[in-house]
Amino acid sequence: MQTSHALQTTEAVRLDAVSKTYGGADSSVIALREFSMGFAGATFTAVMGPSGSGKSTFLHCAAGLVRPTSGTVTVGGTDLAGLDDTQLTELRRDRIGFIFQSFNLLPALTVRQNITLPLQLGGQRPDKDLIRTVVHRVGLGDRLGHLPSELSGGQQQRVAIARALVTRPAVVFADEPTGALDTRTAASVLGLLRESVDTAGRTLVMVTHDPVAASYADRVVFLADGSFAGELFRPTADAVAARMTRLGAWDDETTRQTTPATSGGLH
Ligand code: ADP
């Protein structure tokens, strides 16, 4: 169709009818059900939903880390299904940044080496100004020579965030990037992520449980039971929290019966 083709050129990431089933015939779990969504370039989207609603599965499929059972994922107009494993690895390395809950830092390398490793692997020359800016913003300026084992969990997460940004990826996927951080550091990191969307035109997709973190996004997409369950544009933390409460109420009979305000479902 003409219109959907035209849309694809402006979308940094697109999922069309993506489903993911885990397990065999006897014990299969449908983690994602025919999920379709576009993520325009230079936008920040938060993805929220109850535990087990398919957020991680969505993120892993969108980032090319997990192959969907059916459906299509395109990144920068490239259909991931058409790539072999080497091409997929190259696409991830060149265009995608990851900030995941497990930091995946290399224990024998210093903070500085961990941050610049993706640049070396991709054959890029380190941009010293960018590295200095990123390191300063995540508050690691005095830790560059340390090993990961000498850092707190929050500091290790900040190394992972810096590492994801120094390659200037077109798209960044983040899974609870501020979950281990104190409020002040979280605000600084979210400000940095927001800025990388506004000034560098990066596309950011972030899974979070935190309504305050979600309020930094342009849009919040809600998942429930592997399916789209609504969205909010220009979200406030209060509006996000209210929507999350209602989503939780769907799964909780007691809350539904005792809280009349939740019985109307989503608006
Ligand atoms: P969320 O991130 O919202 O908590 P997930 O995407 O992790 O949700 O999980 C969605 C559903 O898929 C859950 O029922 C979960 O148990 C199941 N699931 C996730 N990963 C696997 C896996 N590797 N093998 C089997 N089931 C899985």
Mutate to test the pocket of ligand 1, among 27, 29, 48 (most ligand atoms within 8 A of CB): 29
C-alpha neighbours within 13 Å on the C-beta side of residue 34: 0
Question: Residues with Cβ within 6 A of ligand 1?
Answer: 22-23, 29, 31, 49, 51-57
Number of the ligand 1 atom closest to the C-alpha atom of 223: 3
Instruction: Of 7-21, 79-93, 130-144, give the range with the top mean pLDDT.
Output: 79-93
Going by CA atoms, what residue is nearest to atom 15 of ligand 1? 52
- What's the CA-to-centroid distance between 5 and ligand 1, angstroms? 32
| Rounded CA Rg of the chain | 19
31 Cα to the center of ligand 1, angstroms = 6
Nearest residue by C-alpha to atom 5 in ligand 1:
54
Q: Span 44-64, mean pLDDT?
A: 95
> Which residue reads 């596309």 in tokens?
203
CA 20 / ligand 1 centre spacing (Å): 10
63, two tokens: 């980032």
- Is the C-alpha dihedral spanning 95, 99, 104, 109 positive or negative? positive
Tokens of 109: 């390398």
Q: Is the pLDDT of residue 260 over 70?
A: no
Where do we find the tokens 């000034």?
199
Model pLDDT for residues 127-171, shown as the tens digit of each residue = 888 888 888 888 888 999 999 999 988 888 889 989 998 888 999
pLDDT at 180 over 50: yes
pLDDT value of position 154: 80
pTM for this prediction: 0.85
Give yes or no for a contact between 38 and 14, defined as CB atoms under 8 angstroms apart.
yes
Q: Is the distance from CB of 66 to CB of 142 less than 8 angstroms?
A: no
Residue 59 alpha carbon, nearest atom of ligand 1: 6
CA of 149 to the centre of ligand 1 (A): 29
- Predicted confidence at residue 188, as pLDDT, reads 82
Which residue's CA is the nearest one to ligand 1's atom 4?
52
Distance of alpha carbon 109 from alpha carbon 105, whole angstroms: 8
Phi, psi of 224 (to 5 degrees): -145, 125
pLDDT digits (tens, 9 = 90+) for 226-254: 999 999 999 999 999 999 998 873 444 33
**SS3 of residue 31 by DSSP:** strand
Q: Which of 57, 67, 173, 206 to mutate to test the pocket of ligand 1 (most atoms within 8 A of CB)?
A: 57
Is the confidence at residue 8, as pLDDT, over 60? Answer: no
Closest protein CA for atom 24 of ligand 1: 22
Question: Rounded to the nearest whole angstrom, what is the distance from the C-alpha of residue 46 to the centroid of ligand 1?
Answer: 19
Residue 60: predicted pLDDT: 95
267 pLDDT tier (thresholds 50, 70, 90): very low
Q: Which atom of ligand 1 is nearest to the CA of 51?
A: 4
Residue 226 alpha carbon, nearest atom of ligand 1: 10
Long-range contacts of 132-135 (CB under 8 A, 24+ apart): 134/162, 134/165, 134/166, 134/192, 135/162
Cα–Cα dist 159/49, whole Å? 27
pLDDT of residue 262: 36
pLDDT tens profile 191-233: 888 988 998 899 999 999 999 999 999 999 999 999 999 999 9
Residue nearest to atom 11 of ligand 1 (CA): 31
Ranges 30-34, 39-43, 249-253, 256-260: which has the least confidence: 256-260
Class of CATH domain 40-67+82-257: alpha beta
Return mean pLDDT, the chain: 86
Contact 61, 75 (CB under 8 A): no
Q: What is the mean pLDDT of residues 17-35?
A: 93
Residue 117 has pLDDT above 80, yes or no: yes
CA 33-37-41 angle, to 5 degrees, is: 150
Determine the Cα angle at 210 with ends 166 and 131, to 5°. 10
The pairing of beta strand 219-224 with beta strand 70-75? unpaired
- Give me the residues paired with residue 14 across strands: 38, 74
Q: How far is the CA of 53 from the centre of ligand 1 (A)?
A: 8
